[in-house]
Structure 1
């Protein structure tokens, strides 16, 4: 869908409604923050036409006003990166774009994998942010439908932080008496190594050339069947939907890459939230910032691809991760730092095909309500690189949308995977 179908009505800068206190003007970045790139985390929310005309007439102003209030709590997003160790929280503000899209919203939703970038500023999704650390856009369609997109710098916070920001923003729009709150952990929880200079800024560019994105829907009933099978074979109590969907989808993906019936050595990397860890400084479950790491499992033989075995391996690796001293080590941060220092891309080389799974199944993305109801659809643009799989809680109870980005030929093979087609509905 061409960007010529978008008319930019106005661009503006939204600043926090209250100035950031002097004591918070310098936001020190943690070791994980420093290891991450400036890449945006992008989300898009699609809403049907509001029933009340007064909402439609005042939507842009109402959203900007609530965004201004929300930024008082999420003040680092309204600043700028002083260097790779700190953010100057000087209330510079975030960019806000009001746009008109010259087609009905159904045209985008019917081709969501290819068309959703139209509700973001041109070429923005997954780009590295060097000026504004947050960009928001409200897009109104010819049918009266509304899309709201938010792109938040990963250097400031992870997917959990982005989700909380957006939900707080929506709640403040819905009720002006709401007072958003965010506690940024800064560098007190996972500080850089003692007496070490700031990490060099990693420039990790989105790479999706020759790639395609597809959404695979896993219903609650199919997920429950997988959970029961895994529990029966392994004795694992309450396997999660993230574990069983990751294992099953990974198996299908790897099987499509067999060379003459020989399995290619592969690895499944899972991003993990470390908020549940018993760190020396006790974290609130809603702490903001980048509180994540990774763990991985490897497969080299067909027997390794048994779904129950994969789930058991994932569970074991997660328990090992949660048992480590995360103050001294963070697998994600160390990998990015070491590879960048050596002039490589993170997780490059060593002969394994690598697949990266990130789950936001438990984040309340479909609870986002700006005052005219919950979204009919929530999505993310293709990216940021090939072999990236984002697991998204579907609006149907207990289901999962798997947004898969892979090279075109690999995706074509996956779409013909008989086991995947037989067991699950692909949309």
Structure 2
């Protein structure tokens, strides 16, 4: 088997290709940002300078203007080279360090890049001070080109080093893993042929492959555990994503503090909101996975008063209902108890009541009821839920009104997972009109 015909070889090739494309994309984006920002700074500097000189001409006349231009030419630094030209209507130079008038219209205060006689490229703006006098102000763009060149060189060097490092690591990892996986495949081939006494070799390196071999030797039960662990890979990935997202959010906060540009601050604020939405979605997915994994586990459950919990939630949502113009009522039988996690019950009721208020129009009604069993119902007289959606809405990322509703469609999926964790189940029924959500024990008759 060739190097890149194996799984690990192809994976190494994919990582190399992704690394190259990522570096190229990052380089292009960085160059565009730097080019755009430096060009904007040059244009602002030129516009400010030409406006200042125009004011000097208005207040002090042509002689004062020539004196100020000469002063600026004498005081400029090598890192900030400025170009000026005060000329007659025909373009004949009166004073300044630009010898010839460019192909720019002074009557229209035109601006753009020009090339001087010595080959220097500058950005300039021209304006007409009076019928007999026109002015040019420019800035050297050589520094911008040099900066962009250094950025491209830096990305090229870093990209080459990154690709080489990824290739070398992938090559040697592939060779080592190929031999170990080959031995494991040989053992599984024997087992598949019916020789169940052949053990899967353990390399005693203490890594993931050794763990896989030990699990395989534990026969069917351990294989089932490995399959379950494989299904949870996405949830572990969500755990790993949360930390860098929080770091990114902190960096955006620092950038907002340092920026004085309102547009930048607003854009960074929207980015922070998107990050918080992603973190909330990851938290919900983790809660769903955790609740389903603990289904049937009684750890952390204790006797709790469902009536008291429902009453507390009703008090919390009563004010929101009043603000929305919705009639909110309760029918809570006191003393209803069950073995459950109180925080889970609160979250379930919070999600159901929040949805009921969200989909009930102004002037509508929402009712929360608790009966022995326990049987908890949340009823509204809104638009209701179509029959073909009453089971699908408990799936992840399913929303009734995807065009107008906000969120990720995880609220009801989380509520169902939490209910199952506590030995409950949620059903959705037609309230004629509206929707009725009913929570009851899974084994209820």
Normalised by the length of structure 2, the TM-score is: 0.22
Which one has a bigger Cα radius of gyration? 2
Higher strand share: 1
Using CA pairs under 8 Å that are at least 6 residues apart, name the structure with larger relative contact order, 1 or 2: 1
